[in-house]
A and B are shown apart, each in its own frame.
Chain A
Amino acid sequence: MNLDWSVIGENFNYLMAGAELTIIISILSIFLGFVGGIFIGMCRISKNPLIYYPSTAYVEAFRGTPLLIQIFLVYLGLSSFNIQLSAWDAGILALSLNSAAYQSEIFRGGIQSIPKGQMEAARSMGLTYNQSMFKVIIPQALRNALPPYTNEFCTMIKDSSLVSAISVMELTWSAKNVISVTFQPFVVYIFIAFLYFLMTFVTTRFMRYLEKRYAIPGMMGAE
């Protein structure tokens, strides 16, 4: 096996275009998953069974099945019901739905990490339930949940490679395409592994900064 590193230079712009799409896909699905996760997380702590059980079923379904299958279901399966999604839309939708399930659990964990006494104290000071939730509990919950959010964001960046299976032209797809012409799997995969590492490393450093910046004094997050 002869390693020809020049294929990286020859296909640099092509691979970078793929990396750009990977970044866009990751940001979009992390953001949509974040919003969806907060919504489902709120449902998960509801006392109303009509809200609690469907949201719990959603989380279990998306956490209990492989992401690749979810991507195929959204892309190929939905067309059985005459819903035609492009590979791009289907990919982002599947990634967001999946991430929302995980992020809802992170959010719920964050809320439950805030001692019950705080809610009681807020209520006794005259705040309504919603006011206590949005002004006292959730701000602290999000700050406490930053480390697990970091985990999920890194997972999303890496899992975005799965949408290459439905022909979304992101970084892994571009790499496979370059390999199919140059027959240099080792060189190309090492290079894109390095690019993925760069993306996740910048993310973890940024999240670490947020963690320090927003640590709650006196609470476990402030170590």
Chain B
Amino acid sequence: MSESAGDKPSASPELVKKKGPKPILIAAVAIIVVIALVAVVVAGGFLNTKEKTTLEKIKDRGYIIVGTDVPYPPFEFYNTTSAKYEGVDMEVINKVAQYLNVTVKVVPYGFSELIGAVQTGKIDVAISSMTITASREEAIDFSVPYYDANQACLVKDGSSITSAEDLRNIVVAAQLGTTGAFWVQDNLVTKGNITSGQAVVYDFVDTAVLSVQNGQSSCCIIDTPVANGYATDTAYNLHVAFTIQTNEQYGIAMKSGETSLKAAVDAALTAMKNDGSLHAILEKYNVL
């Protein structure tokens, strides 16, 4: 049985020499296949121009598709006991949905993918503690702001860091695509206080916070309410070393040009501000 392969040392060399297709040919075919796929996707995008507005689609299907990045306590997190997405943002969007007379379907995304998901219509809106910035507004639209935040420096208990001056030549963590990561880039890396290798950016905020807890990073720059949440959580030995006055405002993100949806969301948020229900939500999660 096993000898059969070894017993034929005299297989004729003429039969062996069979030339395969040229490498360039294979590369060309592979590239053509990729380009064809791209063309299909792009063409599909152009053909779909005559569509209903997002608001009409939401009303038709009876629910609004909401993208969010979990965990980001206390603004959004998945409660494994109740098997529900909870937090400030979840209560806000549920209330907004009530005004629109629809229900909510939450889809989790990485924070840096949210804007792309809004642009491509994968989700109707994104509510994820997202600060309204000029560069984001070039890509998407924001609702009226519903929360004011700043940046905080979260450190391990016993850390010697007490001010922004101490952030020199140490590893600083942040979350990808967040205003915290932009602050680190603009105020620490470009000024030469830390190298680009010392600015470590994670996909998810819990990994960034764990790297501080483990000692792999010296501190983490994140939004004030989230930093306070981690600081008060006894499961971690963390505290807020200092806060940075960045005067940020959170908004609900939606596709550019969806004026009817923006008007409806803005009206709902304004009504919530006026009747005190937004205040009640913020009070409930202790983020006032």
Tell me the A residues contacting B by CB distance below 8 Å.
1, 3, 75-76, 79, 84-87, 114-118, 164-167, 169, 173, 176-177, 179-181, 183, 185-186, 190, 193-194, 197, 201, 205, 208, 215, 217-220, 222-223
Contact with A along B149-173 (1 / 0, CB 8 A): 0000000000000000000000001
Looking at chain B's contact residues, the main secondary structure is helix
Residue of A nearest to B10 (CB): A218
A–B complex contacts, Cβ < 8 Å, 14 sampled: A116-B2, A118-B6, A165-B202, A173-B201, A176-B176, A177-B176, A177-B201, A180-B112, A180-B177, A197-B30, A201-B30, A217-B16, A218-B10, A219-B5
- B203 lies within 8 A of chain A by Cβ: yes
Question: Using a CB-CB cutoff of 8 Å, which residues 115-144 of chain B contact chain A?
Answer: 115-116, 119-120, 135-136, 138-140
CB pair A183–B215 under 8 Å, yes or no, is no
Given contacts A117-B2, A180-B177, contact A167 B202 (CB under 8 A): yes
Tell me which residues across on chain A come within 8 A of B135, comparing CB atoms: 181
Whether the Cβ atoms of A222 and B112 lie closer than 8 Å is no
Give the residue name and chain of the A residue nearest to B116 (CB).
Answer: A185
For A165, give its contact among B112, B116, B173, B207 (CB under 8 Å). B207
Name the residue in B20, B115, B119, B214 with the highest tally of chain A Cβ atoms < 10 Å from its Cβ: B214
User: B16's contact among A1, A167, A181, A223, by CB below 8 Å, is which?
Assistant: A223
Residues of A within 8 A of B202 (CB): 165-167
| Mask: chain B, 74-117; 1 = CB below 8 Å from A; 0 = not | 00000000000000000000000000000000000000110110
A21 to chain B, nearest CB (A): 11
- What are the residues of chain A within 8 A of B41 when measuring CB–CB? 186
Given A167-B200, A169-B197, residue A76 in contact with residue B214 (CB < 8 A): yes
Q: Let me know if A1 and B216 touch, CB within 8 A.
A: no
Is B13 an interface position by the 8 A CB rule?
yes
CB distance from A176 to the nearest CB of B (A): 6
Q: With a CB–CB cut-off of 8 A, which chain B residues contact A3?
A: 42
Cβ of B245 to closest chain A Cβ, rounded Å: 23
- Select one of B45, B181, B216 contacting A86, CB under 8 A: B216
Chain A residues, CB < 8 A from B119: 1, 183
B8: CB under 8 A from chain A?
Answer: yes
Chain B residue, CB-CB nearest to A75: B216
Are B112 and A217 closer than 8 Å at their CB atoms? no
**Closest Cβ neighbor of B201 among chain A residues:** A167
List, in ascending order, chain A residues with CB within 8 A of B177's CB: 176-177, 179-181
Query: Chain B residues with Cβ under 8 A from A180's Cβ?
Result: 112, 176-177, 181
B34 interface residue per 8 A CB criterion: yes
Could you say which residues of chain B place their CB within 8 Å of the CB of A219? 5-6
- What's the dominant secondary structure at chain A's contact region? helix
A205 to B30, CA, bound (A): 14
Q: Which of B1-46 contact A (CB under 8 A)?
A: 2-11, 13, 16, 18, 20, 23, 27, 30, 34, 38, 41-42, 45
- Minimum C-beta distance from A53 to chain B (A): 25
CB pair B6 A165 closer than 8 Å: no
Task: Please pick, from B9, B27, B140, the residue contacting A217 in the complex, using a CB distance under 8 A.
Answer: B9
- What are the residues of chain B within 8 A of A76 when measuring CB–CB? 207, 210-211, 214
**Cα–Cα distance between A220 and B15 once the two chains are bound (Å):** 12
Cβ contact within 8 Å between B207 and A218: no
Given contacts A176-B203, A201-B27, contact A183 B136 (CB under 8 A): yes
Query: What residues on B are CB-neighbors of A1 within 8 Å?
Result: 45, 119-120
Beyond the given A165-B202, A217-B11, could you list 11 further A-B residue pairs with CB under 8 A, ordered by the A residue number? A75-B216, A76-B207, A87-B200, A115-B2, A165-B207, A167-B207, A180-B112, A190-B38, A217-B16, A218-B8, A219-B5
Residues on B with C-beta less than 8 A from A183 are 115-116, 119, 136, 138-140
Could you say which of A87, A118, A205, A220 has the most chain B C-beta atoms within 10 Å of its C-beta? A87
Identify which of A84, A179, A218 contacts B112 (C-beta below 8 A): A179
Other-chain contact of A197, B8, B34, B116, B120 (Cβ < 8 Å): B34
Shortest distance between the CB of A135 and any CB in chain B (Å):
17
* Top 10 closest pairs, chain A to chain B, by CB: A180-B177, A115-B6, A183-B139, A185-B116, A79-B214, A180-B112, A167-B200, A218-B9, A218-B11, A183-B115
Contact partners of B9 in chain A: CB under 8 A: 217-218
